[in-house]
Structure 1
Amino acid sequence: MKTILTIIAVIFFGTVAMAQDANKEVKVDAVTVGVELNIDIQKQAKKETEVARLYKFKNSRVKKELSFKTKKDRAKLA
C-alpha cells in the first residue's frame, strides 16, 4: 500500500512540475561574423631515407647494451 501511494505521489508531483510555465523562452539575437581562411600549403618534395644497421658480431656495442642482465635476473637456490 505504501509503495502504491509513493508511486502515485511521484507521478503527481512530476506532472505538476512539468505543467508550470514559469520559464518562458527568450529569443536571443544571433550575430553573424564573416570568417576568412587564408591557408597556404607548401608541399616539400624532400624524401627522407632511413638506414637500418645490422650488426653481425656478438661483440658489437648495441647487442651488448640490449642483452644486459642484472644480479636479480639470476636464478637463486632455495
Structure 2
Amino acid sequence: MKTVATIFFIIFIGTAASAQDTNETVKVDTIEMGIVTQTTPSVIKERMQEVARLYKFKNSRIKKELSFATKRNSPKMA
C-alpha cells in the first residue's frame, strides 16, 4: 500500500510541475553608449607612503606556522 501511494504521489507531483505555464517573456531595455575617442591622462596628486617590513628569512612566518609539532608527534618509549 505504501509503494502504491508513493508512486501515485510522484506521478501527481510530476504532472503538477509540468502543468505550470512558463512561457512568459521578459523584455530588457538596452542602452546605447557612444565610443569615447578623447582620453585625458590621469594624474595622481597625492602619494601615500607605506611601510614595508623586511624579514631576514623569506617566508619565515609561514614556515614557523607550518612546522608546528603536537605532543603526539614525539616518539615514546614502549
- Structures share fold, TM-score greater than 0.5: no
TM-score, normalising length: structure 2: 0.35
TM-score, normalising length: structure 1: 0.35
Larger Rg: 1
Q: Select the structure with the greater relative contact order (CA < 8 A; seq sep ≥ 6).
A: 1
